Structure formats: C-alpha cells, structure tokens
C-alpha cells in the first residue's frame, strides 16, 4: 500500500501563485530547514524612495532563490551584482497575481548582491523563497505515493522554503 494519497485540486499555495494552478495535493512532513536570508548591506532613504543594498543567500545550499515583492510595493529599479534588471512586464506580474517575482536560478553559495530602489520609505514586507531539487529522505513516502503512471514535470520534485522579511 501507499503511505500517502494524492488528490487533484485547484490550489493557491502562495498569494503569488497563478489563479489557474492545478496540482496534486497530499500531506507532507514538516521539515526544520534553514530559510533563505536577505542580509542588508546598506540603506539610504532619499526623496520618498529607499535604496537598499542586500545579499540574498540560501544557508541550506539551494540552487534557486526568489525575491517576491507584493503588488503594493513600487519597484523603481533592481540590480543584480550592479547590472540593472529589466522591469517586469504586466503579463509577468499578472501571472503572479500582481506580485513581482524575481528568480535567481543558479544561486552561488555566497548568494547574490541585490540593489533595490523602491518608492517607499516606510518598512515593506518581502518574501524570500529558495528551492532545492529532489526530495530529502523524509519525502520518500511522497515519492512512493505517486501513482505508477505519474511522473514529475516542470521543475520536478523539490523542497521549497520561504521566509518573510521586513525592510
């Protein structure tokens, strides 16, 4: 017999998830994993805007990270290691319910240096996410519960850890 069972559902696991997302849902063990970190290196508020220089990293060594910014925050500019990132299109924002999702696919061990310019001087809450490939030993029951005819798609099996931060 299978240790778990899955059922298909329309879910919204995160506020930035696509409203049309369909997934198979099942119970998984809670893991005590280190969450991604956003280290503030420098801040400088000026004329109703804030320039915040940070380092985004994954203490657990995940190879992908995301900086997720709510639709209530206006991003004037984002640079990665000094290179300006093009503004997100309306289509990209609509895909994430208006949230601004920046993905860093080959995250180095030391992380990435980001400079964020936002049209706010009040504190803002952001979400950090990291994703590692495959499942840890604790997730083997999930793999065993998958129907024989099913297989992972898109990014495959993985573990996601999130953290909310206030800047």
* pLDDT one-digit tens code per residue, 72-93: 999 999 999 999 999 999 999 9
pLDDT one-digit tens code per residue, 119-129: 988 899 999 99
Chain centroid offset of residue 103 CA: 7
8 A C-beta contact, residue 120 and residue 46: no
Of residues 11 and 80, more confidence is placed in 80
Terminal CA-to-CA distance of the chain, rounded, Å? 48
Instruction: Please name which of 130, 126, 123 lies closest in space to residue 162, comparing C-alpha atoms.
Output: 130
Mean of pLDDT values over 33-50: 95
Distance CA 30, CA 141 (A): 13
**Binning pLDDT at 50, 70 and 90, where does residue 22 land?**
low
**Binning pLDDT at 50, 70 and 90, where does residue 4 land?**
low
What pLDDT does residue 54 have?
Answer: 98
Whole-model pTM: value is 0.90
């Amino acid at each position: 017999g299978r240790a778990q069972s899955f059922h298909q559902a329309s879910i919204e696991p995160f506020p930035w998830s696509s409203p049309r997302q369909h997934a198979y849902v099942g119970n998984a063990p809670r893991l005590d994993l280190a969450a991604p970190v956003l280290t503030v290196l420098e801040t400088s508020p000026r004329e109703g805007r804030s320039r915040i220089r940070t380092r985004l990293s994954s203490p657990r060594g995940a190879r992908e990270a995301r900086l997720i910014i709510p639709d209530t925050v206006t991003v004037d500019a984002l640079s990665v290691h000094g290179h300006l990132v093009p503004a997100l299109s309306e289509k990209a924002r609509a895909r994430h319910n208006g949230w601004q999702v920046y993905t860093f696919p080959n995250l180095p061990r030391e992380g990435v240096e980001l400079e964020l310019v936002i049209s706010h001087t009040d504190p803002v809450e952001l979400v950090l996410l990291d994703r590692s490939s495959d499942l840890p030993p604790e997730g083997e029951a999930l793999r065993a519960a998958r129907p024989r005819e099913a297989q992972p798609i898109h990014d495959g099996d993985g573990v996601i850890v999130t953290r909310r931060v206030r800047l």
